Structure 1
Amino acid sequence: MARAATLEASSMAAVVGGEQEIVLDHLTNLGLFAANYNGKGQIVAAGSSAKIQELIDSPPPGTRVVGLAVAGAFHTSFMETAKVELGSLASSIRTENPKLLLWSNSDGARVDSGDKFLELLINQVSNPVRWDLTMDSMVSYGVSAVIELLPGGTLTGIAKRAMPGVATLALKSPEDLEKAVAFVREQV
């Protein structure tokens, strides 16, 4: 992904607020992609650096746009070369089916096949993250607690709003692992 990010100047920006359809139309009109659907009221846009700057300068109605300090337009076609390279590397990996529940953040569905998980992981490089659908699935399944891995915080904040009653913990440093162990013990 790092190599793919150097091929063309690209970036990302969080679009906070506004009506989703209006935001998506605005992105399309600018030639940008919705790279992350983080939850109600937050979509991350990605595309050329110039188009991201246009979005920042002229946001959709009722929104606030925040440029992100990232190296490229991840989860879009800008990462297609990385997807191809990852697919090639992954061809030698032997998978096993997961022993714990996994959810795909490409469509929010549960994944019970190791081969399917690997395929989704490869495709995720150049396709949008659907954290919104993942949270919906976890709530439907009855998940009672969520731990966000390093560097944590952003998704935990979104989950607190979208998943009322679900306990959350964001790991911000390796030292927080002890907090995670205690958190898990409290949940069982």
Structure 2
Amino acid sequence: MDHSHPGGRLPARPGHRGAVVSDVPAPVALLCPGQGAQRPGFTRAWMQHPVFARRMAELSSATGLDLSHHGTDSDAGTLRDTAVAQPLIVAAGLAAAALLPRSPADLVLAGHSVGEVTAAALAGVLSQGAAVTFVAERGRAMAAAAGLNDTGMSAVLGGDLDEVLTAVSRHGLVAANINGAGQVVAAGPLGGLAALAADPPAAARVRSLQVAGAFHTPHMAPAERALAGPAAALSPADPWVPLLSNADGTVLSDGAEVLRRLVSQVSRQVRWDLCMTTLERLGVRTVVELPPAGALSGLVKRALPGVRVISLRGPDDLDSLSGLFGPAPV
């Protein structure tokens, strides 16, 4: 990323200012993962890069959390805490993006769940400091809402989509994420999730996710209300590059609308399947997933065969970006 751009945001596409034109093809997509992608030690190798380490220290100061420590040394139980996981994931994505000195001429940004905050910051809607401060508030609010009831989330892998959605509803659950590529995330009371696991839809399997509550469901309504105040204090800018919405896969060009959707997103269904449909419509030929990378790359590989997928799992993977982003800074 070019550090001359304020807030660490990606540069505007040549010839465009402020709002973006959604129908201009964007052959490279930068993807920002969401909660559940984190794993113990996932930033350890990245911390050897001075630019990454410096950015993590700066973002730690903005949140009041030692994100450098959490990314390298905290155990799985600590990283399951929403109040830790969400700012850590966003900070790691922003710090890794700082190793990209410039964007391609055509770029589109998309993030899954909390990763949408990472994407919004990289698109210039929020400064990086404002983004991690907001997401720290988001994590605390969602953790508090999760503590009100015994809820969780499980991935339903495979099966017919209609049959999966019927089974999810039958057990008193909500399809919190429709991720495409044969993956739906069910959310709700733990008893309902256990019943779903014991009686999965035909040709599907159910896997419990390491999250602390039923995110992107009405269970998170208290968190949405809690975020209204912090959001009102922010001054969003229009995105500099195409930015996709989890709500419906549309390309957003108005910063205020992006912020409104970031608030409502905590209790609203994530339609990552529609985001991937938009990537295909925009003519994306390469996707690059920021750390903690892997989950979104897998979905794209299954849903969009023929698209080149680069998962940035460690700094050595930056070599795969040759010709896309230029040399990494030192």
> Quick check: TM above 0.5?
yes
Instruction: Tell me the SS of whatever aligns to 1:12.
Output: strand
Determine if contact 2:157/2:205 at 8 Å carries over to the other structure: yes
Structure with the larger strand share? 1
Q: Distance in 2 between matches of 1:38 and 1:182?
A: 29
> Is 2:213 aligned against 1:67?
no
> Is 2:324 aligned against 1:184?
yes
Q: Distance in 1 between matches of 2:193 and 2:323?
A: 39
Following superposition, the deviation at residue 150 of structure 1 comes to: 2.2
> Is 2:228 aligned against 1:87?
yes
Instruction: Tell me the SS of whatever aligns to 2:324.
Output: helix
Gaps of 5+ in 2: 1-141
Q: Distance in 2 between matches of 1:98 and 1:134?
A: 17
Return the TM-score normalized by structure 2. 0.53
Residue correspondence of structure 1 range 23-62 to structure 2 within 5 A: 23-62=164-203
Q: Distance in 2 between matches of 1:183 and 1:9?
A: 48
> Is 2:249 aligned against 1:108?
yes
Q: Distance in 2 between matches of 1:149 and 1:93?
A: 25
* Percent sequence identity over aligned pairs: 42
Q: Distance in 2 between matches of 1:112 and 1:6?
A: 35
Following superposition, the deviation at residue 41 of structure 1 comes to: 1.3
Write out per-residue CA displacement over residues 144-185 of structure 1, whole angstroms, 9 at most, x where no aligned residue: 222222211111101011112222222335x36734754733
Q: Distance in 2 between matches of 1:55 and 1:2?
A: 24
Instruction: Tell me the SS of whatever aligns to 2:153.
Output: strand
Instruction: Tell me the SS of whatever aligns to 1:146.
Output: strand
RMSD: 1.7
Letter in 2 for 1:10: T
In 2 relative to 1, CA 59–120 (structure 1 residues): closer, same or farther, beyond 3 Å? same
> Is 2:122 aligned against 1:122?
no
Q: Distance in 2 between matches of 1:63 and 1:23?
A: 8
> Is 2:243 aligned against 1:76?
no
- Specify the alignment match of 1:138 in structure 2: 279
Write out per-residue CA displacement over residues 19-65 of structure 1, whole angstroms, 9 at most, x where no aligned residue: 11111111111110001111131101000111111111111122111
Return the TM-score normalized by structure 1. 0.92
Residues paired across the two proteins, number: 185
Higher relative contact order (CA 8 A, sep 6+): 2
Q: Which stretches of structure 1, 4 residues or more, deviate above 6 A after TM superposition?
A: none
- Specify the alignment match of 2:313 in structure 1: 172
Determine if contact 1:87/1:122 at 8 Å carries over to the other structure: yes
In 2 relative to 1, CA 103–176 (structure 1 residues): closer, same or farther, beyond 3 Å? farther
Q: Distance in 2 between matches of 1:80 and 1:183?
A: 44
Given the alignment, which residue of 7, 10, 17 partners 2:158? 17
Determine if contact 2:311/2:317 at 8 Å carries over to the other structure: no
Gaps of 5+ in 1: none
Q: Distance in 2 between matches of 1:111 and 1:84?
A: 23
> Is 2:288 aligned against 1:147?
yes
Determine if contact 1:38/1:155 at 8 Å carries over to the other structure: no
Following superposition, the deviation at residue 75 of structure 1 comes to: 0.8
In 2 relative to 1, CA 171–3 (structure 1 residues): closer, same or farther, beyond 3 Å? farther
Instruction: Tell me the SS of whatever aligns to 1:129.
Output: coil
Q: Distance in 1 between matches of 2:221 and 2:299?
A: 28
